[in-house]
Amino acid sequence: MQHNIPASDEFLFLPLGGTGEIGMNLTLYGHDGAWIAVDLGITFGGDDFPDHPVLMPDPAFIATRRNRLAGILLTHGHEDHIGALPYLWQRLRCPIYATPFAAALARSKLARVGIEDAPLIEVALGDRVHVGPFVVEYISMTHSIPEPNALLISTAVGAVLHTGDWKLDDRPIVGRSYNHQRLHALRREPLLAMVCDSTNAVISGHTDSEGDLFKPLLELGKQAKGRIVVTAFASNIARLVTLARVARALGRRLGFVGQAMEHMLAIARATGYWPDDLSDVIDAGYLGHLPREEVFAVCTGSQGESNSALARLARDMHRDLLLEAGDTVIFSSRVIPGNERAVERMQQRLSALGVQLITDRDAFVHVSGHPAQEDLRRLYDWVQPPVLIPVHGTPRHLIANAEIARTCHVPQVCVVQNGDLCGLSPLGLHRLGRVETGRLTRQPDGRLERVAQDLLEEMRARVH
């Protein structure tokens, strides 16, 4: 490779974000003079870094070579995979590829910042697209958002399976199930490596199905006497559908509270992911006028966000709704690492109001969107990759995933870091060197600044 121009006989792998950390996913693949980027995400500073509310990977390496960047391929629509698009696309200015749901979210994000000229190419589920010298197949998976995709990235040298975020859910509530037949057939492909989600690699057993939540949530709802307020990730359309069905079974009126919730509902309706029989959602402004026992509100704020709907409810400052002693608030979510103190503060405020709190520590109210250890073993058995590269996790998660792969007799397992430039071939993975990486932070005035090196070291020390 000369001047970081991939040769025709090279297949390069270069993570710039999301490897050794949670969030900010950005991975580059290089072949025959061109690069592609998979995902372009953000993360949140949280309490640990309050001066840096939004963080994203520094794309300087590929931005200086953007004439060789053939495209950005989005695996799905979560913020840690698409959230940096409105901030960084102007530096990259290349086509964006996504399936319809992620494309709708990306289009909305770009429009909000006045970007109207970004070429956004919708890819049909299960389709193949040619992006420069790469052929990329979108393989349907299951996760906690519609249309999660693994990418089979093929070149003349061989192929890589990039899993994105995934789980093995046989009852996903909305959208397709994972493509078991195609996943099992991948062992017959000329695979060079598998790049795999490690988020739940430290958790034993299997990840539960989204379909398992209706009954326990319904039983909790039957016990509630006052208002029911549930907070969840706005992007988890399947969870919102489950909650809507619970509300209907209880005979309560359903309303979504918070801009993110309302926006996701609109996107789900526009893309066909909101069931027609659940059309009786009421405007949040009417919830405060209903008898307490009729209210079923689903709101933003599961991560303790200070301006979220639930935060305003906890401070008794919401314009449409108030909470009183005897009401019930259910956290149908997990706490993302780094948000623990913010969530605890919010829950303390809610408790002071006399609200009954129910979290995943108290009852079965949430299932993850990521594979636990037995799920990882199943996929490794189906695909039988020659090389496993763990991504999407802190060093602890990557090491745990690597150990699982070794017990599954994967021939070569390689734990890498952001900035490790690697070559892939039928002989395996070999490290070629390192490139500079970093993080950008978005200032309140919209400017992007590089995070100082000493703060980066502090961040790395905390995740270790």
Give Cα 160 distance to the centre of its chain.
20
Q: H-helix or E-strand containing 331? A: strand 328-331
Nearest residue to 350 via CA among 309, 306, 300, 315: 315
Letter string b/e over residues 370-388, b meaning 16 or more CB atoms within 10 A of that residue's CB = bbbbebbbbbbebbbbbbb
CA angle 64, 70, 75 (to 5 degrees): 105
pLDDT digits (tens, 9 = 90+) for 47-56: 666 677 789 9
What's the whole-model pTM score?
Answer: 0.94
Quick: pLDDT tens for 393-411: 999 999 999 999 999 999 9
User: Which domains are delineated in the chain?
Assistant: 12-205+369-463 (3.60.15.10), 210-358 (3.40.50.10710)
Mean pLDDT of 337-359: 92
pLDDT grade, residue 455 (50/70/90)?
low
- pLDDT, one tens digit per residue, over 225-245 is 999 999 999 999 999 999 999
Q: Which helix (H) or strand (E) segment is 131 a member of?
A: strand 128-131
**46-55, 182-191, 287-296, 320-329: range with lowest mean pLDDT:** 46-55
Categorize the per-residue pLDDT at 46 as very low, low, confident or very high, splitting at 50, 70 and 90.
Answer: low
The CA distance from 82 to 143, in Å, is 15
Tens-place pLDDT, residues 12-39 = 999 999 999 988 999 999 999 999 999 9
Higher pLDDT, 49 or 454: 49
d(CA 115, CA 108): 10
Q: Is the pLDDT of residue 373 over 80?
A: yes
pLDDT over threshold 60, residue 461: no
Residue 1: pLDDT band with limits 50, 70, 90: very low
Write the pLDDT tens digit of every residue in 199-231. 999 999 999 999 999 999 999 999 999 999 999
Nearest CA to 302 out of 248, 235, 364 is that of 235
Which range of 37-46, 49-58, 413-422 scores highest in mean pLDDT? It is 413-422
Report the C-alpha gap between 9 and 36 in whole angstroms: 16
**pLDDT tens-digit readout, 70-120:** 999 999 999 999 999 999 999 999 999 999 999 999 999 999 999 999 999
Output b/e per residue, 315-342; b: 16+ Cβ within 10 A.
Answer: eeebebbebeeebbbbbbbbbbebbeeb
Q: What pLDDT score does 189 carry? A: 94
Give the model's pLDDT for residue 50.
67
